[in-house]
Amino acid sequence: MKIAVVGAGSTYTPELVSGLSREGARLPVSELVLHDIDAERREVVGGLAGRMLARQGFDGSLVLTGDLDRALEGADVVLIQIRVGGQAARLSDETVPLACGCIGQETTGAGGFGKALRTVPVVLDIARRARELAAPGSWIVDFTNPVGIVTRALLDDGHRAIGLCNVAIGFERAMAPMLGVEPERLVVDQVGLNHLTWVRAVWLDERDVLPDLLGAHGDELAELVELPRRLLHELGAVPSYYLRYFYAHDEVLAEQLSGATPRAVTVAGIERELLAMYADPALASKPALLEQRGGAFYSEAATRLVTSLATGDAAVHVVDVRNGATLAGLADDDVVEVPARVGEQGALPLPQRPLAPELLGLVAHVAAYERLAVQAALTGSRTVARKALLAHPLIGQWGPVEALVDRLLEADAHHLPRFGAPVGARP
């Protein structure tokens, strides 16, 4: 099979490539194509990937290219992991909202909205080209944030797509040592929307061990998500780290306004160091520094998902898919993040009990925002953009919304040709 990675200049890529190669017995990759529009990053990252593959005895072909058509032609799986605007745009996402008194984060709230506006049209252009050139029945696996919004846009546009996030596998890897078992024995029953999920059960040999975990390791779990242990016990669930932006909003905003170094600055520094390491022709393994980059276990989650799509092994993965009738109270066409059995025909969500009111209310708000965010990204309507931010529970006030939309569009003007009217216009 042929796998194409779009956005392969990412510092995650060598680990992803290594994982795909390790699955050689079940995932016979004959051609792996790494595409990126940044020639320097493509060569540096691709060089390390090649050395890692050679060390593992990979017998397929590795192709590095800046030609998207070359990457997509005949591909069975297209994995998209792009960052439109790079770390500079991320810094804008994390800082522009602060001037309006709102949290700055690259996937959540106003910052996530800015990223969605830049990203959705670009991903759809890639997917539409893949529809013309990729192999019949090919899959798009999206790891590009904001995953839920991007996946909704892909599915709305008729693509065979699945979204993937690393939060669930992160919980799996954190909880397994607490239980003294191998991670593969756990099924983390994480439900909600991308970056708005709760672990409501942890299945070990068909037994829910979450109550045991909360009782014996509540402090560790609370520290992991940076929220109070009492909150976890009262919810009877473990929120993802991203719920901190909701449950500790004022605390987080105060931290950000105090002049704390934006995460984008830290990550940019880590990436510079990593790329310098990757350029060393003697390096043929993943540097320990990569663990500080974020996105832990992403490559393993991606490898496992691609393997299930290719082999039809019906393994359970936490993925972003259409809701259908999975979560009561949400629309059928909403995109939810839930455990699903994955095979050659795609993902079949596992049955879920209804969300508790305190979870459903928040999820419904954000699902409405995501629907509007896709519409704004595709139409370039400032009116819809303002409606989207009014619907988001982290914003929801006219004063900040009016200023935020103008500031976000001004900061990202180069990447937002659809929003062509002058700042301050009211179409």
The per-residue DSSP string of 21-36 comes to HHTTTTS--SEEEEE-
Q: What is the mean pLDDT of residues 171-196?
A: 96
DSSP 357-383: HHHHHHHHHHHHHHHHHHHHHHH--HH
pLDDT digits 0-9 by tens, 346-375: 999 999 999 999 999 999 999 999 999 999
Q: What is the mean pLDDT of residues 218-233?
A: 98
Distances (CA, A) of 257 to 19, 94, 250: 40, 11, 10
* pLDDT bracket for residue 295 (50, 70, 90): low
Q: In the block, which residue shows the tokens 């997509």? A: 72
Q: In the block, which residue shows the tokens 């991670």? A: 183
Q: What is the pLDDT of residue 353?
A: 96
Q: Phi and psi (nearest 5°) for 79? A: -100, 120
Q: What is the mean pLDDT of residues 308-319?
A: 95
> Catalytic residue among 12, 241, 242, 245, which?
242
Q: What is the pLDDT of residue 425?
A: 42
| Contact (CB, 8 A) for 255 and 104 | no
pTM for the predicted model, two decimal places: 0.95
Q: What is the pLDDT of residue 17?
A: 87
Mean pLDDT, the chain, rounded, equals: 94
Q: Phi and psi (nearest 5°) for 380? A: 70, 25
What torsion, rounded to 10 degrees, do the Cα atoms 116, 117, 122, 124 define?
70
Please tell me whether residue 390 adopts helix, strand or coil conformation.
helix
Distance CA 74, CA 135 (A): 4
Q: What is the pLDDT of residue 422?
A: 47
For residue 309, what are its two tokens? 């799509």
Q: What is the mean pLDDT of residues 281-308?
A: 86
Assess whether 242 carries a catalytic annotation: yes
Q: What is the pLDDT of residue 22?
A: 80
Residues 174, 175, 178, 180, CA torsion sign:
negative
Contacts of 414-422 with CB under 8 Å at 24 or more apart are: 414/85, 415/84, 415/85, 415/89, 415/117, 415/118, 416/117, 416/118, 416/380, 417/380, 418/121, 418/377, 418/378, 418/379, 418/380, 419/117, 419/380, 419/382, 419/385, 420/380, 421/382
Higher per-residue pLDDT: 101 or 289: 101
pLDDT digits 0-9 by tens, 117-133: 999 999 999 999 999 99
Q: What is the pLDDT of residue 287?
A: 87
Q: What is the mean pLDDT of residues 16-41?
A: 90
Exposure pattern of 1-25 as b/e (b: 16+ CB <10 Å)?
A: bbbbbbbbbbbbbbbbbbbbbebee
* pLDDT bracket for residue 292 (50, 70, 90): confident
* pLDDT bracket for residue 328 (50, 70, 90): very high
Higher per-residue pLDDT: 140 or 427: 140
- In the predicted structure, residue 379 carries a pLDDT above the cut 90: yes
For residue 265, what are its two tokens? 């600055």
Please tell me whether residue 144 adopts helix, strand or coil conformation.
coil
| Contact (CB, 8 A) for 413 and 156 | no
Helix pair angle (263-278, 86-95), 10° resolution: 160
